[in-house]
Chain A
Amino acid sequence: MFEKTLMAGNIAIAEGAISAGCHAYFGYPITPQNEILEHMSKRMPEEGRVFVQTESEIAAINMVHGAAASGCRAMTTTSSPGFSLKQEGISYLAGANLPAVIVNVMRGGPGLGNIGGAQGDYFQATKGGGHGDYRVIVLAPATVQEMMDFTMLAFELADKYRNPTIVLPDGFLGQAIEPVTMRAPVTKLPEKPWAITGAVGRAKNIINSFAMEPINDQPRIELIRQKLERIRQDEVRFESINLDDAALVIVAYGSAFRSAMTAMQMAREEGLKVGIFRPITLFPFPIKPLSDLSRKVKRFLVAEMSFGQLIEDVRLSLGADAQVELVNQFGGVPMSADEILEAIEKIMK
């Protein structure tokens, strides 16, 4: 039905959003995701939709707030430093139960860092980088096709739970060019009677995240907590490869997962029984599947492009007697399959 085309990851995000019926996009230039802003500046007006290049990432996330509150599917994309600037806005979106999609094409950091791909925003993205009791759904693509598909999925989950949802690729994936199959555009968007659309023939709608009296605020937050429980139960996604006979399991996502795949194949050729467990939802983190796995397998190797963030969640999920090693690069330096293979050999030989 839809032909395959070659596309960069960043463009796949933009086209995924358009296919998902994203009506409003607000962006600010920051490498390595400028192509999304540029592509949307051309395509959104073509589709008769809203595009604004904003004065800051802060303005962009607050424009997402306005668009989402008025019932439109809305997205903003950025990279690590910009993602930090958006945290207050994301907390407001969560506090006001607003659906929105935020894409963070991660780069080396902290501070100004550099424009190389990295995974150093794991904590910020998955633990809720803003203030207050909330979490956000976090999807981690590892291919250009997934950049498109997970952006579309993000809109669906955001609307389903009325919660901000993050797509978390890194700079390498943003720039990578791979074949992609376009998806059928979403035509049926969910009804949003709660939205700010003008009080015509109904009582007024108010969207806020405030109650002067704490005792009135708690019920609001309790609803958010219950929603997160449902998300934890129903939305966990992960991928298992060669786990049946695995003696060592690599845990990795995004670009690190791609290097791990090659390393696993090389290790298998050397007769080493290696498997991979790939979290796709970084929140809700696949705790149970990992802890089940640890009954059978005792040795784990976390491969990530940060100085050790994913590894904390992996350790939390595994039993006390599981042995967890780390192989990593960070600061924008890519991780090669050879480094992972070396780590595998050191553990298994």
Chain B
Amino acid sequence: MAQLEYNELETILYQKPEALEEHPFHFCPGCGHGIALRLVAEIIDELEIRERAICVASIGCSVNSYEYFNFDGLESAHGRAPAVATAIKRCHPHLIPFTYQGDGDLAAIGTAEIVHACARGENITTIFINNAIYGMTGGQMAPTTLTGMYSTSTPAGRKPSLAGYPIRVCEMLSTLEGTAYISRVALHSPAAVRKAKQAIKLAFRTQLAGLGMSLVEVLSPCPTNWRVEPVKALEWLAENMLPYYPLGEYKVIDAVAALKKEDHHA
């Protein structure tokens, strides 16, 4: 970022959050990870928890997330991030571990871990990036791949008779007692991105207040594996993913609702 001098009083509205390293992202052009990671970093700056935050990365395009953050991080085996984060939180309750997982990691191999972290009401936060595809491995069907959607392992489009139905994670997890805040957001427009940031912030505040499990599902574009150029990918997301994955808050316990109210008055 070039440093500029200017005689008029100048406020920088947007710039790289302190919680992010200078390291450029390795993601494809237009990838939602680049937005989601930045939102998390901005929130960690705003909540001033950089020295307590722990990035529990998963396996997938998200695997390098701990390289981009400017705080402690570690890698967990595919699908196991919620277990790793559980242990970190229980061993060091003052730390703020959050798992950063894709749909293959969370909703396929890691289903048991996320379900039981929710059932136990672990006081951790999960950022769940749903781009309806396995990105890192080149575009195979994910548990959230839509019916009829092309992927390298559903070449004729996903058929329920062969490959079943996409999983609605928020709806599923919100039935578990231990969850305090579960919300689904998306990245397909500026307004949506702003709402996504609010939800992710509330999730971290839920953990800070010790209220139990918080999870934000982020519908995110994967232009490369959707075979759609970035701007069109956001349109595709809006037209195809929003109907099947309605946005909104699926679990908000009273104490979290109170946190939200505080926001409006603060």
Interface residues of A, Cβ cutoff 8 Å to B? 23-24, 26, 50, 52, 54-56, 58-60, 62-67, 69-70, 72, 74, 88-89, 92, 96, 196-200, 204-210
Q: Are A64 and B87 in contact (CB under 8 A)?
A: yes
Count residues of chain B with CB under 8 A from any CB of chain A.
37
Q: Are A204 and B77 in contact (CB under 8 A)?
A: no
Contacts of B95 in A (CB 8 A): 70, 197-198
Interface bits B83-94 vs A (CB < 8 Å: 1, else 0): 111111011101
Contact of A207 among B51, B74, B113 (CB under 8 A): B74
Interface residues of B, Cβ cutoff 8 Å to A? 50-54, 56-57, 63, 66-67, 69-77, 80, 83-88, 90-92, 94-95, 97, 112-113, 115-116, 120
Q: Are B73 and A204 in contact (CB under 8 A)?
A: yes
Contacts of A63 in B (CB 8 A): 83-84, 86-87
Number of A-B contacts (CB under 8 A): 123
Q: Are B74 and A69 in contact (CB under 8 A)?
A: yes
Q: Are B72 and A208 in contact (CB under 8 A)?
A: no
Q: Are A59 and B67 in contact (CB under 8 A)?
A: no
Contacts of B72 in A (CB 8 A): 196-199, 204-206
Q: Are B87 and A66 in contact (CB under 8 A)?
A: yes
Contacts of B120 in A (CB 8 A): 52
Task: Please report the C-alpha to C-alpha distance between residue A213 and residue B91 in the assembled complex, in whole angstroms.
Answer: 33
CB within 8 Å for A24 and B87 given contacts A59-B80, A70-B95: yes
Task: Please report the C-alpha to C-alpha distance between residue A60 and residue B83 in the assembled complex, in whole angstroms.
Answer: 8
Closest-CB distance, B227 to chain A (whole angstroms): 24
Task: Please report the C-alpha to C-alpha distance between residue A26 and residue B160 in the assembled complex, in whole angstroms.
Answer: 38
Closest-CB distance, A99 to chain B (whole angstroms): 14
CB within 8 Å for A65 and B73 given contacts A23-B91, A197-B95: no
Q: Are A66 and B91 in contact (CB under 8 A)?
A: yes
Interface centre among A74, A88, A207 (most CB of B within 10 A): A207
Contacts of A209 in B (CB 8 A): 75
Contacts of A67 in B (CB 8 A): 87-88, 90-91
Task: Please report the C-alpha to C-alpha distance between residue A89 and residue B75 in the assembled complex, in whole angstroms.
Answer: 12
Q: Are A196 and B73 in contact (CB under 8 A)?
A: yes
Known contacts A26-B87, A58-B83, A208-B57; 20 further A-B pairs (Cβ under 8 A): A52-B90, A55-B115, A58-B80, A59-B80, A59-B113, A59-B116, A60-B83, A63-B87, A65-B77, A72-B91, A74-B87, A196-B72, A198-B51, A198-B52, A204-B70, A205-B72, A206-B66, A206-B67, A208-B74, A210-B75
Task: Please report the C-alpha to C-alpha distance between residue A207 and residue B94 in the assembled complex, in whole angstroms.
Answer: 19
Interface centre among A60, A62, A206 (most CB of B within 10 A): A62
Contacts of A56 in B (CB 8 A): 112
Contacts of B67 in A (CB 8 A): 206
